[in-house]
C-alpha cells in the first residue's frame, strides 16, 4: 500500500465557541488530485489554512511526508514542499510577473545583487506552464484578474512543491479560462499532489479523482466525483436545501416610497475613458443605469469591467472628457467619499474588508444618507444575513468566503445608495448562496435601487438583469435586453466567444 503523502487525523479548529473544522480526517496519496467542496461556511478554506500552517489545529494531527507537522510554522512547511494559492490573488502588485515568480524559486536570495541564470530559467518555465510568458515583464497589478490567478499558480509551481493547495482557483474566471485551468492541473507532473477547494462542480469533476464534502466543519462524504454528485446528503447540504448561511426569506426592506420613478436614468455615464499608465482600458463608454432595474456588464477577464465600476465610484482616475452624472448632477472631479455621500455604493471585487475589525464594527462604519426614505439599518441587514448575526464578534479571517461577501454587501446597503455597483458578487459562493444573492439583487431593484452588476457568472447575470452590456476591446459593443438573450440563449456566448461546453476529462 502506498504511504499517504498527507494525512489529517481528527483535525479540528475553533474560532471561540464556533468549531469551523470538526474532527476531519483525510488522506492523500502521492500524485492525487483531491477536492474539498461544500457550502459556504463549511470550513474548506480553514482546512487549507491548517494544512499550510497559517492556522494551528485546536486538536488532531497533521502528517506530511511521514512527519508530524501540526506544530510547524507556515514557512517551514513551505520549505518542506507545501505551496499554496489564496482565495484572492496575493501578489506584489508593483512587481512584474517574473519578479513575483522569482521570489518562490528555491535558493534565490532576495538580497542578491544579481539573479542567478538558473533561477530566471525556472521562473520562465513556471510562467510558460500557466501561459503567461508574454506577460513576464508586466506589473502584476496591471494583469487581468484571471491572469493574476494564473500568476499565483506559477508562483506556487516555481517553489517546486510536493503538495499544491489551491483555494477557489476558478473564482472570477470565464468559462474558457476554467477549461484552460483544468487542462493545466491535469498536465501537472504526477510528482505534484493537488488539494483544491472550489465551488465549480464541473471543474471539480474535470480535475479531481477524489472529492471530500464538508458541512458546518464536519465530514459528510468522500468518494469519486460521480458518486459524490449522486450522494443524497451532498445534494441536500450543497445544492440548496440547506439555507442557514444565506439571507432570510424576508427580502429587502421596501424602499418604494422613494420619489424616483422606476425606469428613470439615475446614473448616466458619458464618454468614460480610463487606463493604466497611458495604456487605454476603457474608451468612450456611455451607459445609463435606471431606478428599479439591474444592468449587467459582462465580458472576458481583462475587458475592463472592474475598471469601469471603480472609475464610476471614484476609485480609479478617468481621463478628461469623462462625465458621470447622478440624478443629473455631475460627479466629475469628485472623490470616492463624495460620490458615496451623493448616493453611489460599491461592493468591490475582493471585498476589501478591514482585517482588524469585527462584523459589528464594520456595520457601524457606514454613515446612512438621510435623503432617502426606507433606510436600511444594522438590524435590517442582520435579519437579511442571519449568518452574520451569529458572527458579530468575528473578524474577516474568521468568516467563510460567503460570509465575507455578505458583510461587504451589508456594509454597502447601510449607506442607503441610490445606485449600487456590484463587482463579481458571486465569486467564491456556493450554488445555494448564489441563488440567495440573486433574490437579494432582484429585491433591491424592486425596492427602487438602480443596480450595475459586473459578473462572470452569465447564468446569474441573465437571471437578475433587465439588460446586459457587453464590454470588449475597451468599448461596449452591444447593449441588449435580457429578454432577448433568454429567447436566443447562445447569442451572449457568441458575443463573448465563450465555449458553452463545460470542461471534460
Annotate 49-79 with DSSP letters as a single string: HHHHTSS--SEEEEEETTEE-TT--HHHHHH
- Successive 10-residue mean pLDDT values, the chain, 505 residues: 86 84 95 90 90 94 95 94 89 91 79 72 92 93 86 94 93 78 91 92 92 91 89 70 44 48 85 80 92 90 85 93 94 92 88 88 76 65 82 86 84 89 83 80 90 87 91 86 73 54 39
- CA-wise closest residue to 194 among 104, 85, 90: 85
Whether residue 318 contacts residue 491, with contact meaning beta carbons closer than 8 Å, is answered with no
What SS3 class is residue 270? strand
Which residues are 323's β-sheet partners?
270
Please name each of the domains of the chain with its CATH number.
6-238 (3.40.50.300), 265-495 (3.40.50.300)
Looking up cell 461587504 gives 408
The grid coordinates of residue 37 equal 467542496
Phi and psi torsions of 350, nearest 5°: 90, -5
Looking up cell 513556471 gives 126
Whether residue 348 contacts residue 381, with contact meaning beta carbons closer than 8 Å, is answered with no
Whether residue 6 contacts residue 163, with contact meaning beta carbons closer than 8 Å, is answered with yes
pLDDT on residue 373? 53
Q: How far is it, in rounded angstroms, from Cα 462 to Cα 471?
A: 15
Which regions of 177-251 does DSSP assign to beta strands (E)?
193-197, 210-215, 218-223
The kind and range of the H/E element at 423 are strand 419-423
pLDDT on residue 336? 93
Looking up cell 479523482 gives 209
Which regions of 428-487 does DSSP assign to beta strands (E)?
450-454, 467-472, 475-481
User: Sheet of 450-454: strands edge to edge?
Assistant: 344-347, 419-423, 450-454, 294-298, 467-472, 475-481
What SS3 class is residue 369? coil
On the 0-12 / 13-18 / 19+ scale of CB atoms within 10 A, 120 is: middle
* pTM summary value: 0.62
Which residues, at least 6 apart from 362, have a Cβ–Cβ distance to it below 8 Å? 353, 354, 407, 410, 411
User: Terminus-to-terminus CA distance in the chain, angstroms?
Assistant: 27
Q: How far is it, in rounded angstroms, from Cα 489 to Cα 484?
A: 8
Amino acid at each position: 500500500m502506498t504511504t499517504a503523502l498527507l494525512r489529517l487525523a481528527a483535525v479540528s479548529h475553533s474560532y471561540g465557541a464556533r468549531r469551523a473544522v470538526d474532527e476531519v480526517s483525510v488522506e492523500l496519496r502521492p500524485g492525487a488530485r483531491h477536492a474539498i467542496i461544500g457550502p459556504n461556511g463549511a470550513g474548506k478554506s480553514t482546512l487549507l489554512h491548517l494544512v499550510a500552517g497559517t492556522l494551528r489545529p485546536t486538536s488532531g494531527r497533521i502528517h506530511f511526508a511521514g512527519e508530524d507537522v501540526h506544530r510547524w510554522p507556515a514557512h517551514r512547511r513551505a520549505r518542506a514542499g507545501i505551496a499554496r494559492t489564496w482565495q484572492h490573488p496575493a501578489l506584489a502588485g508593483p512587481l512584474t510577473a517574473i519578479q513575483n515568480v522569482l521570489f518562490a524559486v528555491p535558493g534565490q536570495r532576495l538580497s542578491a545583487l544579481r539573479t542567478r541564470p538558473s533561477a530566471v530559467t525556472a521562473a520562465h518555465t513556471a510562467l510558460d506552464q500557466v501561459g503567461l510568458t508574454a506577460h513576464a515583464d508586466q506589473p502584476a497589478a496591471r494583469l487581468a484578474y484571471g491572469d493574476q490567478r494564473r500568476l499565483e499558480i506559477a508562483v506556487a509551481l516555481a517553489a517546486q512543491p510536493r503538495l499544491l493547495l489551491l483555494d477557489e482557483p476558478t473564482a472570477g474566471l470565464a468559462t474558457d479560462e476554467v477549461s484552460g485551468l483544468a487542462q493545466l492541473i491535469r498536465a501537472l507532473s504526477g510528482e505534484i499532489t493537488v488539494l483544491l477547494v472550489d465551488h465549480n462542480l464541473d471543474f471539480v469533476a474535470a480535475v479531481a479523482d477524489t472529492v471530500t464534502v464538508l458541512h458546518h466543519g464536519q465530514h459528510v462524504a468522500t468518494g469519486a466525483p460521480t458518486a459524490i454528485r449522486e450522494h443524497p446528503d451532498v445534494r441536500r447540504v450543497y445544492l440548496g436545501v440547506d439555507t442557514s448561511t444565506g439571507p432570510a426569506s424576508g427580502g429587502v426592506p421596501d424602499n418604494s416610497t422613494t420619489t424616483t420613478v422606476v425606469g428613470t436614468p439615475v446614473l448616466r455615464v458619458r464618454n468614460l475613458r480610463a487606463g493604466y499608465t497611458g495604456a487605454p482600458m476603457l474608451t468612450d463608454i456611455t451607459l445609463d443605469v435606471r431606478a428599479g432595474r439591474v444592468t449587467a456588464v459582462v465580458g472576458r477577464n481583462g475587458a475592463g469591467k472592474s475598471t469601469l465600476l471603480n472609475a464610476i465610484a471614484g476609485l480609479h482616475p478617468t481621463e478628461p472628457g469623462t462625465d458621470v452624472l447622478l440624478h443629473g448632477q455631475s460627479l466629475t472631479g469628485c472623490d470616492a467619499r463624495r460620490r458615496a455621500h451623493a448616493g453611489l455604493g460599491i461592493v468591490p471585487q475582493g471585498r476589501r474588508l478591514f482585517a482588524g475589525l469585527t462584523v459589528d464594527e464594520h456595520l457601524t462604519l457606514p454613515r446612512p444618507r438621510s435623503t432617502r426614505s426606507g433606510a436600511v439599518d444594522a438590524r435590517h441587514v442582520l435579519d437579511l444575513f442571519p449568518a452574520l448575526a451569529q458572527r458579530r464578534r468575528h473578524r474577516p479571517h474568521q468568516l467563510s468566503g460567503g460570509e465575507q461577501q455578505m458583510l461587504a454587501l451589508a456594509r454597502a446597503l447601510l449607506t442607503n445608495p441610490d445606485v449600487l455597483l456590484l463587482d463579481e458578487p458571486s465569486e467564491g459562493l456556493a450554488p445555494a448562496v448564489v441563488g440567495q444573492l440573486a433574490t437579494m439583487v432582484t429585491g433591491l431593484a424592486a425596492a427602487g435601487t438602480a443596480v450595475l452588476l459586473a459578473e462572470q457568472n452569465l447564468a446569474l447575470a441573465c437571471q437578475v438583469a433587465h439588460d446586459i452590456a457587453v464590454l470588449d476591446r475597451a468599448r461596449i459593443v452591444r447593449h441588449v435586453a435580457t429578454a432577448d438573450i433568454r429567447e436566443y440563449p447562445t447569442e451572449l456566448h457568441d458575443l463573448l466567444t465563450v465555449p458553452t461546453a463545460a470542461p471534460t476529462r
